[in-house]
Every structure is written in C-alpha cells, then in structure tokens.
Amino acid sequence: MESILIVVVAFIGYLVAYNTYGRYLSQKVFGLDAGNRTPSHELADGVDYVPTKKQVIFGHHFTSIAGTGPIVGPAIGIIWGWVPALLWIFIGSIFMGAVHDFGALVISLRHKGHTMAEITGMVMNRRMKIMFFIIVFLALLIVIAIFGLVIAVIFHMYPAAVLPVWLQIPIAIVMGRVILKGNVNLTKVTAVAVAAMYGSIALGYNVPLPMPEIAGIPATGVWTILLLVYAYIASTLSVTTLLQPRDFINAWQLMVAMALLVLGVFVAAPTMVAPAFNLSPDGAPPWMPFLFITIACGAISGFHCLVSSGTSSKQVETEPDARFVGYGSMLTEGFLATIVLIACGGGLAMAYTTADGEVLTGSAAFATHYGSWMASSGLASKVAAFVVGAANMISSLGMPQEIAIVLMGVFVASFAGTTLDTATRLQRYVISELAADLRTEALGRRHPATLLAVVTAAGLAFYNGAGGKGALLLWPLFGSMNQLLAGLALIVVSYWLKQQGRNYVVTLLPSLIILVFTSWALTHTLGSLYDSGNLPSLVIGCIALVLQVWLTIEGLALMLQGRGEDTAPATGG
C-alpha cells in the first residue's frame, strides 16, 4: 500500500502546488502579462522563432528536460533510501526545480529569447557572461556525447526498441506537415500518430534490429555515430519540421506510458522493499551532498535553464503560457521521478532475473541489484533497474512481460532522443552567440555552428576508443556542473528580479542551497579524481570549481551592490 499512497499524495501535492505556488509566481513575482509581445512573434523566422500553442510547447519542453535524468537519477539515488530520495524529489521540484525552469523561461521571454549565458551579460556583466558560456559549452558537450551513448546502450540492450524509436521520425514529419496545412483536428491527428507509434512497438518486438560490429567498431560505437549524424540533421531543420511534432507526440506516447505505470502501481500495489533509509551503502559516496547531485532531473537541474531559454522561449505564444510550460513541465517530471522510485524500490522486487538465470523476488531482488554502489551505478544497471521494475508493474495489467520491456526501452530511448536533439540545437545557439560576441559571424551560421557542436561531441565520445564511451570519463563531473548551472541561473534571475523591485528571495534561497551542495560535492569529487589519476577530469573539474567560486562571489557582490546593466522591465520586454 505504500506505493499507492506515494502516488496519490504526490499527484495531489503537485496539483495543489501548480495552482497555488505556481500561480503566485506567475502573478506576483514574474507579473506575466498576455499583452506583452513574446519573442516568437517579435522575431518570427519560421525556423527557431515560431509562435506555438502551449500544449505543443509543453510536449517539446517536457520531453527535452526529462531525457533519462529522472530515470537514472532516482534509479541510483534510491540506494540511500527511498524516503530521502522521495522528499528531495517532491520538495525540490516544487520550490527549486520548477522555480528555476519557470524563472529561466520568463527572463528569456523578456530578453528576446536569448540564452541564459547571453542574458548573464545583459543583466550582470560581460566577464560573467564569458565564464557562463564556458560552463554551458562544457555541460552541453558532455550531454550530447553521453546521451548518444545512452541511446546506443539501450539499442544494444533492447534491439526490439530500435525500429519503434526510428519510426517516430517519419510519423512526426507527416504529422507536422498535416498540421501546417491547417484546418485539421489536432486531437484526431495526435491520436492517429500516437496509435502509429504504439503500433510500431509491436512491429519492433517482432523485428528486432541488433547492430553488428562494423569495421572493428563495436555496436555502441556504430549507433553513437549514426545518432550524432541524426542530431546534426535534426537540429538544423525548422522546429516545425521535426522537433515540435516529434516532441509533441512523444509527450503523448510517454504520458500514456506513465498512465500505464500508475495503473500498474494500483493493480500490482508493489511493496517498497528498498530500505526507507540507508545512509551508508557499501562503496557509495556520502549521501550528503551526493543525493542532491545524483538526483538532479526530477528535483532541480541546470540543463533545464538551457532548454527554457534556448528553444522553448522562442516558441511560447503568450507570456501566461510560461507557467504551464515552465512550472508545469517540471512538476510533471517530479511525478515521473516518483514513479521511477516506485519501479526501482518496489516493482523490481516483483521478479528479478540474475545473470545466472535465477529469479528473485522481494528484498532479495533489491539487495542483489543494489548490493553495492559499484554494482548498481553503471549506466546499463540504472536503465535495467527501471525497465525491469516498470515492466513488472505494467505486466500486472495483462500485457506480456516481453512487450512491456520493449515498451519501457522505447520509453527511455525516446526521452533520451528528444534531449539529444534539443541539446545539439542549444549548443548551436551557444556557439552562434559566442561567435557574434567574438565577431566571427561565419562560425555562427546554422550549419557551421551545428557542425562544431557535433564534431566536438564526437571527439569526446571517441577519444579513448571506438565504443563511443569517452564521455564517461567526464561523467563524474557532470552532476556538479549541471547543478552549478542551476545555481548560477537562479542568481541571474534573482538579480534581475531585485532590479525590478520584485520578490527575489524565492529564487535566491534555492540558488544558495544548491550552490552549497554543488561546491561540497565537486570538492569531494576532485579528491577522488586525484586519487584515481584521472587527469583530464581533474583539470576540467578544477576549472569548473574556480569558475563556480568566481561567478558566485561576483554574482552575490552585484546583488549586494544593486548594480547591473539590465534595462528589461519585469512586466514587459
């Protein structure tokens, strides 16, 4: 019954938060006004700036910010106990993560759809902007390389998921063309597209596509190359061609999957066999501060500010839509992370097959998978914990276990795919803005900037071998760098709100909390990197720590002095 109670309380809590705290932020803090002209109208170009209905933008925004973060984070964070993980997800998403995403979206709407790095220069100063650019570039570099690998690993583990994921592309393109012609019923078109996507899962189950080794390149390496080529093509197309329709129907596909998971919780009522508290698991880093770094998406994640200020702000039709898109998407992600906790802490215990073929249930199943940090923290291990646990819950509805596993594999790969698309497009924006600042306009054009984004990610992915796993070397730093972005973005939003005479405490307090945890975790990680002799990560980590300290001190100093360079009003732009 614990799992059912968790779902019910979380759902009601998020609903109340959206209609109370979300409304307060919208009306009293950000002062959203339907009369203000948004960048999607002011700068409409049919490629990146496109006025779009909030339901469609929600689909893009939610699938882009979610990725695999709210899956792999809780899937490993539960090792410290499901209670602290659940509390961090619930409280963090309402008062920190959703505020961060919402604030980044609004400040970008008021600054012509610019990214957070560019806005930092407008609001704070040019020096801070350049340092912010460096952090953003490094973070996106890791995201593109690692998410290409994530999808490659899923394709390798679950070859039946390959065909459904790739078939989403032509389905989305056709849907986009139909909608652009106008005079169509969006509900009917969406229903047909989602039905086609779910039909493709049955096709994938019957036609799995395992990737062989090609020219000495392992399957994961081949998939990574293909995915990076796809990311280049997808991120140079108009958002209405692929990004919007794919993310929109992806969102519905994923909502259906979430609904199946919730129904599975009610029917199976899995017992939470994971320990409520386990603050010193074997081989794990200290839960304080690493719980707050490990579970990022689902609670608060700096990557989200890049999506809010990168792609979403260029498509929001009216300012009031920002609450639904920015605040609502993060609460939805928090609810997803809650379901993941239940799948890993309870669903996994319904039936878990070991490498020797033995089927375990109950506490023995959880203890076997989560016996140590080393055993449970690998990429494949995190994905498997959720996929198996979720499939167990869904199979209680009468769906065959094998089909349920394919469904969950597609679920994870689809999330990761939308994040890969968006991250590549965001890196293009970052490179273009930096090129303009450095007066190298040729580099800032759409194709050269995208090519640089993809080539640098490929260089990281393959620098230590053909398997495409190079980004794993820097992965220990990503959690801290990601939360560093969140803290710094909140400082920028706080300073802007203070300039406008608005309540900036609601953004400054979360900023200080997450920056403390980030500094703490990054310092600990640097010690581990030094002991292991991981020199590249150690150097980059030291650079990140210096930038963090500098930006934090300078940002807080500007807050105290009340000086800045921004002129954009809080109630209009």
CATH of the domain at 107: 1.20.1740.10
94-115 pLDDT per residue, tens: 999 999 999 999 999 999 999 9
Q: What is the residue range of 47's domain?
A: 2-561
> Distance from first CA to last CA of the chain, Å, rounded?
50
196-238 pLDDT per residue, tens: 998 999 999 999 999 999 989 999 999 999 999 999 999 898 8
Residue 568 lies in a domain: no
Residue 7 lies in a domain: yes
Query: Which of 378-387, 412-421, 521-530 has the least mean pLDDT?
Result: 378-387
Distances in Å between the Cα of 248 and the Cα atoms of 4, 157, 182, 190, 332 are 29, 26, 17, 8, 15
Considering its fold, how many domains does the chain have in total?
A: 1
Give 289's contacts (C-beta < 8 A, 6+ positions apart). 516, 517, 518, 520, 521, 524
Share of the chain above pLDDT 90, in %: 58
> Which DSSP string corresponds to 399-443?
--HHHHHHHHHHHHHHHHHHHHHHHHHHHHHHHHHHHHHTT-TTT
- Closest among 555, 553, 524, 556 to 541, alpha carbons compared: 524
- Closest among 10, 20, 24 to 91, alpha carbons compared: 10
Residue 570 lies in a domain: no
Query: Which of 269-278, 279-288, 391-400, 429-438 has the least mean pLDDT?
Result: 429-438
Share of the chain above pLDDT 70, in %: 97
Which pLDDT value is given to residue 567?
46
Rounded distance, CA 422 to CA 160, Å? 25
- Closest among 15, 99, 51 to 326, alpha carbons compared: 99
Q: What is the pTM of this model?
A: 0.91
The answer to whether 568 touches 111, Cβ cutoff 8 Å, is yes
Residue 286 lies in a domain: yes
Residue 573 lies in a domain: no
Which pLDDT value is given to residue 572?
43
- Closest among 373, 166, 398, 345 to 286, alpha carbons compared: 373
Residue 572 lies in a domain: no
Per the prediction, the chain carries an average pLDDT of: 90
Reported as a pLDDT band with limits 50, 70 and 90, residue 336 is very high
**Token duo for residue 305:** 């500010």
499-556 pLDDT per residue, tens: 999 999 999 999 999 999 999 999 999 998 888 888 888 998 899 889 888 988 998 8
Omega before 84 within 30 of 0, i.e. cis: no
Task: Determine the Cα angle at 219 with ends 218 and 222, to 5°.
Answer: 90
